[in-house]
Structure 1
Amino acid sequence: MELMRSRYTAYVIGNIEYLRATWSDATCPPDLEASADSATRWLGLQIKRHTPIDTTHAEVEFVARYKVGGRAHRLHETSRFERDNAGRWRYIDGALRD
């Protein structure tokens, strides 16, 4: 899914405005700017699964790898997306996986 990849890129370059613009208004955190961490070094994104639910909802399972303070981490999540009335896909939320 293109939106998942573009949101990952926005995290890599710290484009908070894009993240906010592609996040559902109902679930976007008000302190999103404060959550940006310049110490995080993103290493890669692997899309494991893209599942259309219906014409306005989809799920994407991904693994994003990153380092903080020289220590490697991975974020494995299943994200939910919805298409708004203007036809744009927006991130709703995600469930962390092991």
Structure 2
Amino acid sequence: METDARCPCGSGLSYGECCRPIHLGLSPAPTAERLMRSRFSAFAVGDPAYLLRSWHPDTRPATLELDADTRWLWLEIVRTERGAERDTDGVVEFRAKYRVDAPEGRSSGVQHEISTFTRVDGAWVYVDGSA
């Protein structure tokens, strides 16, 4: 993704000034919500390595393969609980719109999830989520 393109996370900033520095490890996500936004952007730009790095080691899969037919379109943060800069855990509820352009046809949907986050060695990580 071009650094001057609008960031997929919906912040209104460019990718270069929003999620890209987090993806590259240059700037940690300061809150659970920012980590959630950066993870959405990682799905949108196709960065499974970042998704694995930002996943709690106890719940992280060994590998992660993204579906090339799925395009992540927008993210809506529904609510957050805790997860601020001084917190040690947090919850982010979100809706993420996607489109699948498969050989058998196009479909779309919304993933609704309540995600939990915690800190490991001071950095926010994704633990798990439920619908």
Map residues 4-83 of structure 1 onto 2, 5 A cutoff: 4-33=36-65, 36-52=66-82, 55-69=87-101, 70-83=106-119
Instruction: State how many pairs are aligned.
Output: 93
Instruction: Indicate the residue corresponding to 2:128 in structure 1.
Output: 93
Long gaps (5+) in structure 1:
none
Q: CA deviation at 1:55?
A: 2.4
Q: CA deviation at 1:31?
A: 3.0
State the TM-score, normalized to the length of structure 1.
Answer: 0.89
Identity %: 42
Q: What CA distance in whole angstroms lies between the structure 2 residues aligned with 1:41 and 1:21?
A: 21
- Name the larger-Rg structure: 2
Equivalent position amino acid for 1:2 in 2: R
Partner SS, residue 32 of structure 1: coil
Long gaps (5+) in structure 2:
1-32
Q: What CA distance in whole angstroms lies between the structure 1 residues aligned with 2:60 and 2:45?
A: 19
Q: What CA distance in whole angstroms lies between the structure 2 residues aligned with 1:43 and 1:55?
A: 30
Q: What CA distance in whole angstroms lies between the structure 2 residues aligned with 1:72 and 1:9?
A: 18
Q: CA deviation at 1:3?
A: 0.6
Larger % of strand: which?
Answer: 1
Runs of 4+ in 1 over 6 A off after TM superposition: none
Q: What CA distance in whole angstroms lies between the structure 2 residues aligned with 1:31 and 1:20?
A: 8
RMSD: 1.4
